[in-house]
Structure 1
Amino acid sequence: MYTPAPFRQDDLTVQHDFIRRSRLAVIVVSDGDTLDANHVPVLLDAEDGPYGTLVGHLARANPQARPRTEAIRALAVFSGPDAYVSPGWYPSKQATGKAVPTWNYVAVHAHGRLELIEDAAAKRAIVARLSELHEAGRPTPWRIEDAPPDFIDAQLAAIVGFRLRIERLEGKWKLSQNRPPEDRAGVTAALADGGAAERAVAELMAGTD
């Protein structure tokens, strides 16, 4: 990921927190001459390895889940709020006219190797953990034990678990850090008056001042 120095976010704690809040990853693998990408809910085991390990599952029919003799290189992409930035929001534009549109956003890329998991107990644990995470706070949270055992067994047979041991993490917080303080303030104020995505970017910008 192209990341100029002002936008780099190398704090592992910040990267991990972003992954936990994002939850949905785009898993990309190279398969010969083609790229295969899938949107997959994942869990982060932060203490497993120097950068953590991502865990999830795929449909068995998914090409990414086909058996391989060794782990395959993969990239997990996590995207956060993003927003268009108008040059009209820069006070400096009024003085010089030297401004063009851009886009503000945050993202984390996790590089590693995708290892498939066939063990039924391990797959059940992954499904149970994902359910507990996303059902938390509901009046009557669904649990894997709520479904008939034979039904769950059939569902588990139709999926393949995976772990992606992270070997490298890249964080990019592109939030107008390359602009003068007055321009950043102008962008933050304009975004704060926008929709939900724009307000979320404004909050991130305010947190990096």
Structure 2
Amino acid sequence: MYLPAHFKENELPVLHAQIEGSRLALVVTSGSQGLQASHLPLLLRPDEGDNGTLYGHFAKANPQWRDVQEGTEVMVIFSGADAYISPSFYPAKAEHGKVVPTWNYLAVHAYGQAEVFTDHERLLRIVSGLTEKHEASRAEPWAVSDAPADYIEKMLNGIVGFALPIARLEGKRKLNQNRSAEDIAGVSKGLAQSPNPSDQHIAQLMSQGTPRV
């Protein structure tokens, strides 16, 4: 990922917060089968390893897990909020007109080599953890144990789990840090008036002065 110094995020808790806030990750590999990518929900265990460990699973019919098994490096992309930035947001537009559109966004890339497994006990921990995470906000959360045990066993036969200790993390928070305080305030104000929730989230981050997730 292209990372100019003023957009680079190095703080591990901030990077972990971005990962936790991304409901669907993009898992990318380049192995013997060529480039492959899968959109997967993942679990982060922040205390496992120096940078945390990611857990997830592939459908057994998805050939990408075989590249992971062969030891190819894995890149996982966690995309956050994003917003189109109109030149009309900048006070500088009225001063000299030397402005162009851009895009503000949050992104984290995680890299490492993963272990794959089919052990049902480990797989059950992953699917149960993912279910608990994404059902937590519901009034009556569904649990894996709500389904018949023999049915869950059958479903587990159709997936391959993986554990990815994060060897390297890259974080980018492109929030107009390279522009004047006046232009940043103008962009924040412009985005805040948008009905788009992503625009509003970027506006909120920019208005905080020292943006954080």
TM-score, normalised relative to structure 1: 0.96
The separation in 2 between residues aligned to 1:69 and 1:9, in whole angstroms, is 31
Equivalences for residues 1-209 of structure 1 within 5 A? 1-32=1-32, 34-66=34-66, 70-194=70-194, 195-209=196-210
The separation in 1 between residues aligned to 2:96 and 2:32, in whole angstroms, is 50
Secondary structure of 1:153's counterpart equals: helix
Report the CA distance between 1:24 and its aligned residue: 1.5
| Conserved? CA contact 1:60–1:66, under 8 Å | no
| Conserved? CA contact 1:23–1:43, under 8 Å | no
The separation in 1 between residues aligned to 2:200 and 2:22, in whole angstroms, is 17
Unaligned runs of 5+ in 2: none
The separation in 2 between residues aligned to 1:81 and 1:68, in whole angstroms, is 29
The separation in 2 between residues aligned to 1:175 and 1:74, in whole angstroms, is 27
Distance 1:121 1:44, change over 3 A: same
Secondary structure of 1:66's counterpart equals: helix
Secondary structure of 2:166's counterpart equals: strand
Q: Matched residues, percent identical?
A: 49
Report the CA distance between 1:70 and its aligned residue: 4.0
| Conserved? CA contact 1:72–1:115, under 8 Å | no
Most deviating of 33-42 and 165-174: 33-42
The separation in 2 between residues aligned to 1:83 and 1:201, in whole angstroms, is 7
| Conserved? CA contact 2:29–2:68, under 8 Å | no
The separation in 2 between residues aligned to 1:19 and 1:183, in whole angstroms, is 29
How many residue pairs align between the two structures?
A: 209
Secondary structure of 1:65's counterpart equals: helix
TM-score, normalised relative to structure 2: 0.94
Aligned amino acid, residue 197 of structure 2: A
